[in-house]
Amino acid sequence: MDTGTRDGCISTAVPGMSGRTVIVTGASSGIGLATARRLAGAGARVVLAVRDVAKGQRAAATMSGDIEVRKLELDNLESVRTFAAGWTGRLDILINNAGIMLVPEGKTADGFERHIGTNHLGHFALANLLLPHLADRVVTVSSHLHAAGRLDLEDLHWRRRPYSAGQAYSDSKLANMLFTLELQRRLSVAGAGVRAMAVHPGMTQTNLFGHATGVRAVLINAFARLALQDADHGSQATLFAATADIPGGSFVQPGGFAHMRGSPGIAAPSGVAQDAAVARALWRVSARLTGADMPMSA
């Protein structure tokens, strides 16, 4: 069993992964790279699903094990469909890790607001299209900021409201939570053995903060130096959700102060994330927008 160590601290134990296949989206940097490295080191075949293949190959060169790089643009449904159509054989674990944060107002290739389109709709389509191959679980990286989400299902793409990058990000992370819990409900109804998990990785210093500007950027940089953990520590909650024997529908987050860091464990998501009616409604909207839906009765 690979425990991994850093600064004398024992990190999340990762069991032997030989014979298992894992896809990690956004695995060329940050938490995704740290997650992929640990899983490959434990013997898994790991596919780095990345926007920039050259960057993904440079990341893969820093890792040991059975590693493959494939192109995936989550803000382009054609790319998502191409990636999924090219998948053959068994897939044990899908880790929906990639994400954007605080980006300027804009649209994806399909006309979606960028946060909801990339963080939620791209992963929603990917998971649904890959479900026929999945054998174990789907892990989706959300955030504690999901609790601040206020999804407007009639205006997901901010066509009628003044745009707020911060609110759009929180909304997309709430969508990740609602997707996970509704996916688990549907899997349970279908009698499938696949499980769905959501993760808050803690406060981690990654390139997600690269779009912050002005006073917000100054405050983030100062906070990062004092409080943010590195990507290796930030990957611990994802690794726990991906490998521990925990129930489907679990929400995993660090157990330390304000859930910013610490050993991961199962926690209760916010009340807004547990609204089953909203989760079902979001699923219907997402299926309509992406043309992807769960390929089994639910």
Under 8 Å between Cβ of 131 and 175: no
Q: Is the dihedral of CA 143, 144, 148, 152 positive or negative?
A: positive
Catalytic residue among 169, 179, 251, 283: 169
How far is the C-alpha of 74 from the C-alpha of 30, rounded, in Å? Answer: 17
**Closest among 152, 153, 139 to 243, alpha carbons compared:** 139
Q: Which two tokens stand for residue 212?
A: 């912050």
Annotated catalytic, 163? no
Residues contacting residue 6 through CB under 8 Å, at least 6 positions apart: 232, 233
User: Strand pairing of 91-96 and 66-71?
Assistant: unpaired
- Active-site residue set: 169
